[in-house]
Amino acid sequence: MKPILLIDFGSTYTKVTAVDIENEKLLGTASSFTTIFTDINEGLNNAVSILEKTTGKLDFTERYACSSAAGGLRMMVSGLVPELTAEAAKQASLGAGAKIIKVYSFELNEDDLEEIKSVNPDIFLLVGGTDGGNSECIIHNAKMIAQIDSDFPVIIAGNRNAVHQCEKILAGRRVEVCENVMPKFGMLNIEPTQKKIRDIFLERIIQAKGLTSVSSLISGIMMPTPSAVMKAMQLLAEGTETEKGIGDLVAVDVGGATTDIYSIADGMPEHANTVYKGLPEPYVKRTVEGDIGMRYSIHGIVDAVGIKRISALSGLTEQRAQEMIDYLGKHTDVVPTDDEFEALDYALASSAIETAVTRHAGAMEEAYTMMGLTYVQSGKDLTRVNKLVVTGGSLIHTKRTAEIASHGLYNPAQPKSLKPKSAQILVDRKYILAAMGLLSEYYPDSALRIMKKELIADGNPEQTYIG
């Protein structure tokens, strides 16, 4: 046996996963409170002790880790046009596993500067203009950021004719120059910026979060937790040279504060009479709904779907549902213990998935032209995706997982949405996705085969919207 320890330092819990790499077997998982404000080793050691009560004493040959501790990798972004360079910068940041605090468009003003000062992001991404296009906006924004007395690093990934002037303006702080995230109109080039974001995370953010004390225990690189999950999803979909993947998929992670959605699919128009509007979507896409969460962002779910919808799904009166929601918003550690709370959590989780996947997926509209009826697509067409991976406490600790997950599928009441029409539900019941993303950096075939074993199917082979 060759045991490997995979660690996820979260804001609340440190989660550990042990695998036997020789036999490609999951040995066990455990978690303990993250002790980031004292000694982070304490939380890690507690989690390993809990793990070894099940597995027995393990002599780990390798250890790998990811982290979203203390709020994760917090980024702020400024671009030119909201639908173009600002959107390209947003895709680059989310794809690198960051948590975007704010996206600014056009020129920064004094109020924006005050907001940036108060947030003090881990990284600021400065973009704007295609190569040879508008230079004034990104130069103005560089001058504004230069006024901020803070040491957060700035990545410049805008108009190549302006980046060196911006670099001089920002002299005195850490500045990294990358290729333009949108060198030509409608063309995305986000991979170089994503790599630089991850590099800065490794060099700077780990130290800022207090993780240097465990760096001597780690065998290889660390990465943001969402980046590890994205790697796992891409591996599961695409496979390796020697192990076949399962094909295009959508993944949903419903948390207490946010809901993350991942899609691994092309998503471009399939029919000749469909035209595409907006920037092309990345094949590997992540979105984060910061207002949608089961506890800290519980009121965001109600704002999105309305209390009537929560009442209808839960079977509770609107008044009782609202009372319970207000209580959970103040007591975020409460887990369902009776039929009422279970019914409410079912309604909240279903609504969270429905809202988040609808926002992530594209939409189709009809338009009449001189050539007759034409369809206009914006965003990704996910209708043909037939695998839906779900994780998060509200989905894995319930018998109604498939029913909740079905709300991430196409709903005839929302005919414009391009969500999957039917899908097999795969459940990450042991919280191994981030761990498998880490493992895939070194043992991709083994990580893929373990995921295939552990992501069990719920309900019907092809689940459709239940409603």
3-state secondary structure of 289: strand
Query: What are 102-142's pLDDT values in tens digits?
Result: 999 999 999 999 999 999 998 999 999 999 999 999 999 99
Helix (H) or strand (E) holding 253: strand 249-254
pLDDT at 264: 96
Helix (H) or strand (E) holding 325: helix 318-330
Q: Which of 256, 462, 232, 279 is nearest to 377 (CA)?
A: 279
**Among 109-123, 180-194, 229-243, 437-451, which stretch is predicted with the lowest mean pLDDT?**
180-194
Tell which phi-psi region holds residue 267, choosing left (phi > 0), alpha (psi between -120 and 50) or beta: left
Q: Which of 467, 394, 458, 384 is nearest to 424 (CA)?
A: 458
Query: Which residues are paired to 251 by β-bridges?
Result: 262, 389
pLDDT at 215: 58
**Rounded mean pLDDT of 45-56?**
91
The amino acid sitting at 252 is V
Q: What angle do CA 72, 301, 317 make, to 5 degrees?
A: 145
Please give the residue that has the higher pLDDT: either 313 or 274. 313
pLDDT at 459: 55
Query: What are 171-228's pLDDT values in tens digits?
Result: 989 999 999 998 998 788 888 998 898 888 777 656 655 566 665 566 666 788 888 9
Helix (H) or strand (E) holding 2: none
Q: Which of 122, 72, 69, 83 is nearest to 277 (CA)?
A: 83
Query: What are 89-98's pLDDT values in tens digits?
Result: 888 888 777 7
pLDDT at 220: 67
**Rounded mean pLDDT of 449-463?**
79
**Rounded mean pLDDT of 349-374?**
89
Q: What angle do CA 141, 143, 148 make, to 5 degrees?
A: 95
In order of 289, 319, 321, 344, 396, the CA distances from 347 in angstroms are: 17, 15, 10, 5, 15
Q: Which of 351, 388, 381, 166 is nearest to 271 (CA)?
A: 381
What is the percent of the chain with per-residue pLDDT over 90, rounded to a whole number? 61
Please give the residue that has the higher pLDDT: either 328 or 99. 328
**Among 19-33, 54-68, 211-225, which stretch is predicted with the lowest mean pLDDT?**
211-225
66: confidence class by pLDDT, cuts 50, 70, 90: confident
pLDDT at 290: 82
pLDDT at 204: 66
Inform me whether the pLDDT recorded for 374 exceeds 90. Answer: no
Euclidean distance between CA atoms 334 and 163, whole angstroms:
49
pLDDT at 343: 95
What single DSSP character describes residue 243?
Answer: S
Domains and CATH numbers, the chain: 3-70+209-220 (3.30.420.40), 73-203 (3.40.50.360), 238-463 (no CATH)
pLDDT at 397: 86
pLDDT at 92: 84
160: confidence class by pLDDT, cuts 50, 70, 90: very high
Inform me whether the pLDDT recorded for 69 exceeds 70. Answer: no
Query: What are 380-392's pLDDT values in tens digits?
Result: 999 999 999 999 8
Q: Which of 407, 410, 405 is nearest to 421 (CA)?
A: 410
**Among 237-241, 248-252, 293-297, 308-312, which stretch is predicted with the lowest mean pLDDT?**
293-297
pLDDT at 208: 55
Q: What angle do CA 99, 100, 101 make, to 5 degrees?
A: 110
Q: Give whichever of 30-44, 157-171, 268-282 has the largest mean pLDDT.
A: 157-171
Q: What is the CA radius of gyration of the chain?
A: 23
| Residues 6 or more apart whose Cβ sits within 8 Å of residue 18 | 3, 4, 5, 6, 26, 27, 28, 29, 51, 55, 58, 60
How crowded is residue 436: how many other Cβ atoms within 10 Å of its Cβ?
29
**Rounded mean pLDDT of 329-352?**
90
pLDDT at 85: 76
Query: What are 396-427's pLDDT values in tens digits?
Result: 888 899 999 999 999 999 999 999 999 999 99
Give CB contacts under 8 A, 24+ apart, made by 52-58. Answer: 54/28, 54/30, 55/18, 55/27, 55/28, 58/3, 58/5, 58/18, 58/27
Query: Which residues are paired to 63 by β-bridges?
Result: 5
